[in-house]
Amino acid sequence: MDRALLLCLYDVLYSHYGPQHWWPAKTPFEVMVGAILTQGVAWRNVETAIARLEESNLLDPRALYAAPEDALAEHIRSTLYYRTKARKLKAMATLLVEQWEGEIARFFARPTAVVRADLLGVWGIGPETADAMLLYAGGHPVFVVDLYTRRIFGRLGWITGRESYAELQHAVQSALVADAPLYNEYHALLDRLAKDTCRARRPLCSRCPVATGAIVTCPAGRLPSPP
């Protein structure tokens, strides 16, 4: 992965969209809950579920841990697979409460690899979800790879599409400095581009902020030359 191109794309997107203020949550635990709830569903559905959990005072690891799983599932019905997600939330809360007394800051105040291993050991939490929690709830410098990242990088010709999650993440992190704010904003900007113009079907190429300059050919256009 070319560092100059990665930074160039970031600058183009940041200049066009500005800061995204992502992840939209009031607490680190809310981020962790949202990272599970957003699996396979639009964010608007997650917002509905988050609001219901907040109304019931369940956006706390101890309260969520104590809540019956069936009742929890009803609160998050607006998300797909809500019964499965309730089980995932309970598994996460169990880790945080039984091993860390619900103290989120203490949980994240350890080496990234150690925290990541603990998260991946929780039923229902995979690499993308774990890394979203690490970055947005814990402030750890890990680059989150999602479907939008693959779509955009693939259309730019930067990847073949056959790379594993770990391979693509390593490629980006090896090219960029380990900087949590940069990874935070970059991931949010890529998601914004994918939702606004670089859509899976019928991308709005004429409105794409990347569609200028002349470095990398893309269905949406070209990137401007880096300074």
pLDDT digits (tens, 9 = 90+) for 156-201: 889 999 999 999 999 999 999 999 999 999 999 999 999 999 999 9
Assigned domain for 227 exists: no
- 102-126 pLDDT tens trace: 999 999 999 999 999 999 999 999 9
Assigned domain for 179 exists: yes
Give the CATH number of the domain where residue 218 resides: 1.10.1670.10
Please give the angle made by the CA atoms of 43, 38 and 61, to the nearest 5 degrees: 115
- Write down the pLDDT at residue 211: 75
Q: Which of 109, 137, 165 is the C-terminal boundary of a domain?
A: 137
pLDDT at 21 exceeding the cut of 50? yes
Question: Mean pLDDT, to the nearest integer, of 15-21?
Answer: 95
What are the CA-CA distances from residue 59 to residues 54, 79, 96, 170, 206 (Å)? 6, 16, 13, 33, 42
Predicted confidence band of residue 219 (pLDDT cuts 50, 70, 90):
very low
Q: Are residues 133 and 56 in the same domain?
A: yes
Q: Are residues 118 and 168 in the same domain?
A: no
If one counts every other C-beta atom within 10 angstroms of the C-beta of residue 68, the result is: 10
In the chain, the percentage of residues whose pLDDT exceeds 70 is 93
Q: Are residues 124 and 158 in the same domain?
A: no
pLDDT at 220 exceeding the cut of 80? no
- Write down the pLDDT at residue 210: 87
Instruction: Give the whole-angstrom CA distance, residue 63 versus residue 66.
Output: 5
Q: Are residues 58 and 8 in the same domain?
A: no
Give the CATH number of the domain where residue 116 resides: 1.10.340.30
Assigned domain for 114 exists: yes
Q: Which of 94, 109, 137 is the C-terminal boundary of a domain?
A: 137
Q: Which of 89, 104, 137 is the C-terminal boundary of a domain?
A: 137
Q: Are residues 114 and 45 in the same domain?
A: yes
Q: Are residues 123 and 211 in the same domain?
A: no
Q: Are residues 128 and 44 in the same domain?
A: yes
| Count of structural domains within the chain | 2
Assigned domain for 194 exists: yes
Q: Are residues 66 and 42 in the same domain?
A: yes
Domain carrying residue 192 = 3-20+145-222
Q: Are residues 185 and 118 in the same domain?
A: no
Which residue, among 97, 93, 101, 86, has the nearest Cα to 52 in the 3D structure?
86
Q: Are residues 69 and 130 in the same domain?
A: yes
If one counts every other C-beta atom within 10 angstroms of the C-beta of residue 216, the result is: 17
Q: Are residues 111 and 42 in the same domain?
A: yes
Instruction: Give the whole-angstrom CA distance, residue 83 versus residue 79.
Output: 9
Assigned domain for 208 exists: yes
Q: Are residues 176 and 108 in the same domain?
A: no
Cα 167 off chain centre by: 17
Predicted confidence band of residue 218 (pLDDT cuts 50, 70, 90):
low
In the chain, the percentage of residues whose pLDDT exceeds 90 is 85
